[in-house]
Chain A
């Protein structure tokens, strides 16, 4: 191992041990490779509200929120009480609990086009199953998706390259976000063989600015799917409930046939869900789904509590207000120091990039400097707001950003 920054000594010691017994040391989206190795903590110790602490005792204002699941803040007392109460009665038993029915009923009442709900643990569980439901319902093979859109880690959609065979994606076809001509070409080329179109409500590729749907994008896709008998699947895993408690399609004015939800569903407890139209119910009943922990009641109790709190507190409004304050403050701070910073994505799921920064080094340095000062900003992945982030947190973060930008300006970065 090379020189270890004192700030992250314990993180690096753990990582050195991990690297001996765990492939990659830390794999997947939380791998140091995905952020800035050496500039960010590798391991967390505890979290509360809008803050968390790494294993070296450094404290951070949290703008990643566990990469999305924590929408109300860490260790929300009402959610944790509901989960704990459920767990005191049953953690993992031979049958689902009553809470599964209650949660399905609640979700179906929230998502107005839906007539049914199923549950899993992760986003991939639901997107992969939804694709199968689309194929079962239509009797067709092809799935259309957007280039660089993330839908999970199964072979049909993983952004990884290893362990795949060409046949894994024979029936997966891609078009660029907002490129309706390319979308129409695929529809024409594979007419009567397209089972489903799976899309996120807005485009949030890794490393890049998020892109909102162009005017007319969603209405065009929706009407094409209706016309051609294609199942429109909304992958709302990353944005779901942060933009609109009725599903992100409400914000953008369209209606999918299936919606996949996960991150903000249970405030950090492991749970995902897919909901669909009545017409898809038979296909849904035919496509097998299960997992060892998929019926576990505590996460469902947490979800029910989380959903009710978000409805009671109008959480999406809070997230938008806080996100707007953060983004506006960052852009203004950038201007003060001579940097053009561009916000992208909805305020509740924001991301920021610098103009004239093709190598991303300026953005990387900015995020590293702010993180070092105590607010975690990811340089390559969109951020997540939680309702636990207070106006004081935002102000404190903006002061850190100001200091980081001043230092960057002094160093001519």
Chain B
């Protein structure tokens, strides 16, 4: 429980650098998303005026995420401020971005809107999504990715998260779902800088937090199980530098504070 206010710049980076990267996993694992992408070939840029930009590329039935603006984008969606982007991702229908390039590609924009709607349904845990084991697994996977990648923005600008990380040792923390492909996120907490990624960690982790299966990850991510008891039963395993896991976990709790704000 933290009473600390949400920092708009952190929230916008969470959307750009933690939520939007989930499109890759969504399209890779969700048949509905794959149908939406179809044969589209496009580079869609999200940009905050005088701020960061990211690119989502759709090609060959997949979606990839890149930091920065693509050189020859299909569409550039510009937001005037962090608050503007946050309002848009928060569901404010009036906070639409300005298509400063490619606004005439209405079919592509409609297709991409469908894709982000599907992402929102999976991440929010829409009943239709959670009705199947595959949907629950995907929800858990995306939640894990957002939590892991979200640590980067939080570490750079959120007071409680920075405080939690400042009090824990440096090292590489890795979160994974056992037996699952593409369900590993890592966070490298250095003395001065930090980095987060999805996929194989850059070196042997100092601490590994593993969920025994998707069902446990799903329940843990949704705060539906007693995670301390789950560690005792072995459903969640923490091996190595436990204080790093504690600090990172505490910082991670801020992700939901932000995305539910």
5 A-B residue pairs with Cβ-Cβ distance under 8 Å, sorted by A, are A25-B233, A42-B232, A148-B167, A165-B3, A166-B3
Asked if residues A2 and B171 are in contact (CB atoms below 8 Å), the reply is: no
| A16 on interface, CB distance cutoff 8 Å | yes
Q: Are B3 and A1 in contact (CB-based, < 8 A)?
A: no
Residues of chain B lying within 8 A (CB to CB) of residue A1: 233-235
CA distance A26 to B226 in the complex (A): 11
Say whether A38 contacts B241, CB under 8 Å. no
Contact of A358 among B3, B171, B228, B237 (CB under 8 A): B171
Residue of A nearest to B230 (CB): A19
Q: Looking at the assembled complex, report how far the CB atom of B4 sits from the nearest CB atom of chain A, in whole angstroms.
A: 8
The reply to whether B226 and A359 contact each other, CB–CB distance below 8 Å, is no
List A residues at the B interface (Cβ < 8 Å): 1-4, 12, 15-16, 18-19, 23-27, 31-33, 37-38, 42, 147-148, 161-166, 207, 358-361, 364, 380
Contact, CB under 8 Å: A359 / B171: yes
B240 within 8 Å of A (CB atoms): yes
Complex interface: chain A residues within 8 A of B207 (CB): 359
Residues of A within 8 A of B239 (CB): 361, 364
B233 touches A31 (CB 8 A): no
Given A23-B226, A359-B207, A207 contacting B243 (CB threshold 8 A): yes
Indicate whether B1 reaches chain A with its CB closer than 8 angstroms.
yes
B residues whose Cβ falls under 8 Å from a Cβ of A: 1, 3, 167, 169, 171, 206-207, 212, 226, 228-229, 231-235, 237-243, 250
Given pairs A32-B232, A33-B228, A358-B241, 4 additional interface contacts (CB within 8 A)? A2-B212, A26-B232, A360-B240, A361-B240
Q: B219 CB to closest chain A CB, in angstroms? A: 13
Smallest Cβ distance from B189 to chain A, in angstroms? 12
Among A18, A25, A33, A359, contact of B241 (Cβ-Cβ < 8 Å): A359
Given contacts A1-B235, A23-B226, contact A360 B242 (CB under 8 A): yes
Q: Is the interface of B mostly helix, strand, loop or mixed?
A: mixed
Q: Are A25 and B229 in contact (CB under 8 A)?
A: yes
Whether A31 contacts B240 in the complex (CB less than 8 A), given A166-B3, A358-B206, A359-B206, comes out as no
> When the two chains form their complex, are residues A19 and B232 in contact, meaning their CB atoms are under 8 A apart?
yes
Measured CB to CB, the closest approach of chain B to A44, in angstroms, equals: 15
Q: CA of A31 to CA of B231 in the docked complex: distance in angstroms?
A: 10
CB pair B1–A163 under 8 Å, yes or no, is yes
- Cα-based distance from A358 to B239 in the complex (angstroms): 13
Q: A148 vs B212: C-alpha distance in the bound complex, in angstroms?
A: 32
Q: List chain A residues, Cβ under 8 A from B229.
A: 15, 18-19, 23-25
Q: Would you give the shortest CB distance from A243 to chain B, in whole angstroms?
A: 27
In the complex, what distance in Å separates the CA atom of A164 from the CA atom of B2? Answer: 8
The answer to whether A2 touches B206 (Cβ under 8 A) is: no
Is there contact, CB below 8 Å, between A27 and B1?
Answer: no
Closest to A20 in B: B229
Say yes or no: A359 contacts B240, CB within 8 Å.
yes
- Whether B228 and A2, one on each chain, are in contact in the complex, defined by CB atoms closer than 8 angstroms, is no
Alpha-carbon gap, A148 to B166, bound state (A): 12
Q: A3 and B234: CB pair below 8 A?
A: yes
A197 to chain B, nearest CB (A): 21
Rounded to whole Å, the gap between the CB of A217 and the closest CB of chain B is: 22
**Cα A42 to Cα B229 with chains together (Å):** 12
Q: Which residues of the partner chain B approach A165 to less than 8 Å between Cβ atoms?
A: 1, 3
Pairwise interchain contact A37-B3, C-beta atoms closer than 8 A:
no
Chain B residues within an 8 Å CB radius of A360? 240-242
Rounded to whole angstroms, the CA-CA distance of A25 and B235 in the bound complex is 13
The CA of A25 and the CA of B212, in the complex, are separated in Å by 18
Closest to A24 in B: B228
Indicate if the CB atoms of A25 and B1 lie closer than 8 Å: no
Complex CA–CA separation, A364 to B232 (angstroms): 16
Bound: A134/B238 CA distance, A? 41
